[in-house]
Structure 1
Amino acid sequence: MAPPSFWNLSSQFQYLNLSHNLINGEIPNSPVILSASVIDLSSNHFKGPLPCISSNVYALDLSNNSFSRSISHFFCFRVNEPKYIGHLNLETNLLSGIIPDCLMNWNNLEVLNLGNNNFSGSIPASMGSLTYLHSLHLYNNTFSGKLPSSLKNCRELVIIDVAENRFAGNLPSWIGHRYTGLMILSLRSNYFHGHIPKELCALTSLQILDLSHNKLSGSIPRCVKNFSTMATNNISNDHMNSYGSRYGETFPLESALLMIKGEIVEYTTILHLVKSIDFSRTVYQERSLKK
């Protein structure tokens, strides 16, 4: 357990890395405000509510811990103060509740990973304020409702992973028009219904498309032959790099969970080499999903 006085020293560091240890306890929220430029506390045993962070934090990785409770205080802390954070990873914790509708001042975010928690509710409209967002991971929660039209504003998206939730409605045709650089689209294990819109065929940069385990019906559009990137070996991984290299150390930025022969497989360092398309259990759904 780190003593409270240790966290007060965070402003003296540019890069704070305590990852992959067995450190436990809570990070005090008052008067401590974490303020190193890059903070990596991943893969420990931290618990309790998320700590408040300074507006000057550039990257924060709290994944693989036991942080719990709502995240409203975290996202709405000093709500009128612009945040400069570009990379936020809260994956694999015990966080719950909704995403609060106060993301307007987080518009420098490029990577947002809330996967594998206990979040619920719908995606707030203010998610559309994240116009620099490249990567959105919301997988394995209990989010519901439709994908909001405000996401149209996030035109820089390269990765969308909302698998294993309770999203419903038709697959939005605007995905094909707005995300010209999209490389990964995972909508697996939700309640999407209707047909597969032919507009998805405009996503010519796709490497991974997973629509499996939904309630889709009808025929697969013939224009899937437009997914030419899946048939080539000349793949760029510019958007799947690591962050932190400018501080003398790197750690993986992107990963994807794929259904391969009925098993979930995680890809990280070779993700840019993976190509996959999965329509299984979408046309003529064979069984209802239980969550």
Structure 2
Amino acid sequence: MTFLDLAQNMFSGILPEWIGSKLPSLTHLRLRSNMFTGNIPTQLAELGDLQLLDLADNRISGYIPSSLGNMTGYGASGNDRIVDSLPIVTKGQDRGVIYMVSLDLSDNVLDGEIPEELSALTGLVNLNLSRNHLTGTVPWYIGAIKKLESLGLSKNMLSGGIPSSLSDLTH
């Protein structure tokens, strides 16, 4: 299986750790708009081909695991992949076929700082961490994610200055 979409249901409980080991070919995992709780399993980083992870609109808590920076489907270690079968919708506009990479953890109760390891996701196009309880500063390394087109950090508890590295983002 490469595509698993269980969004907008009433699934509850913790996110299954077995997804990382039992579904190694997943490229798309959408569990948005359910009632999942608990932490983001570090085993999700085992999904080497994962290109879309959408856990938005749940009650997931804890820190964002730094191991998410190891997901090679997102271009970690310079290993960008192209998805040639699905259209992309980013910011409400059909973008056609591009490097489809999206990480959406918005509208949960995640806390702590944004892990530096996310900067390894060099193919990331959409990063949405809005509507959580994230603290600390907006990391300076955010500008290292060169393909980033959409960055959502609103409605957190971030502080400090806006990093000048955001001006390095040209997409």
* TM-score, normalised relative to structure 1: 0.49
Distance in 1 (CA, whole Å) between partners of 2:10 and 2:61 is 18
Query: 1:202 aligned to 105, 128, 144, which one?
Result: 144
- Per-residue deviation, 1:105: 2.2
Distance in 1 (CA, whole Å) between partners of 2:18 and 2:40 is 12
Distance in 2 (CA, whole Å) between partners of 1:186 and 1:145 is 16
Distance in 1 (CA, whole Å) between partners of 2:71 and 2:17 is 16
**Structure 1 moving runs of 4+ over 2 Å:** none
Aligned match of 1:130: 47
Distance in 2 (CA, whole Å) between partners of 1:89 and 1:100 is 14
Higher relative contact order (CA 8 A, sep 6+): 2
Aligned-residue CA RMSD in angstroms?
Answer: 0.9
Distance in 2 (CA, whole Å) between partners of 1:198 and 1:156 is 23
Structure 1 or 2, whichever has the larger Rg, is 1
Aligned pairs (5 A) from 1:177-188: 178-188=120-130
Assess if the C-alpha contact under 8 Å between 1:174 and 1:199 holds in 2.
Answer: no
- CA deviation vs aligned residue, 1:229-278 (integer Å, no higher than 9, x gap): 1xxxxxxxxxxxxxxxxxxxxxxxxxxxxxxxxxxxxxxxxxxxxxxxxx
The one-letter amino acid of 2:115's match is P
Aligned match of 1:35: none
Assess if the C-alpha contact under 8 Å between 2:107 and 2:131 holds in 1.
Answer: yes
Does residue 1:114 correspond to 2:31, yes or no? Answer: yes
Query: 2:157 aligned to 197, 204, 215, which one?
Result: 215
- CA deviation vs aligned residue, 1:166-213 (integer Å, no higher than 9, x gap): 00001111111x101000000010000010111111011011101000
Contiguous gaps of at least 5 residues in structure 2: 75-100
Distance in 1 (CA, whole Å) between partners of 2:45 and 2:146 is 23
- Per-residue deviation, 1:150: 2.3
Assess if the C-alpha contact under 8 Å between 2:141 and 2:165 holds in 1.
Answer: no
Aligned pairs (5 A) from 1:126-275: 126-157=43-74, 158-176=101-119, 178-229=120-171
Distance in 2 (CA, whole Å) between partners of 1:129 and 1:213 is 30
Secondary structure of residue in 2 paired with 1:119: strand
Distance in 2 (CA, whole Å) between partners of 1:125 and 1:209 is 23
Does residue 1:95 correspond to 2:37, yes or no? Answer: no
- Per-residue deviation, 1:125: 1.9
Distance in 1 (CA, whole Å) between partners of 2:70 and 2:33 is 25
- Per-residue deviation, 1:155: 2.5
Q: Paired residues, what number? A: 144
Distance in 2 (CA, whole Å) between partners of 1:186 and 1:155 is 19
Assess if the C-alpha contact under 8 Å between 2:66 and 2:118 holds in 1.
Answer: no
- Per-residue deviation, 1:153: 2.2
Secondary structure of residue in 2 paired with 1:150: helix
Contiguous gaps of at least 5 residues in structure 1: 1-84, 230-291
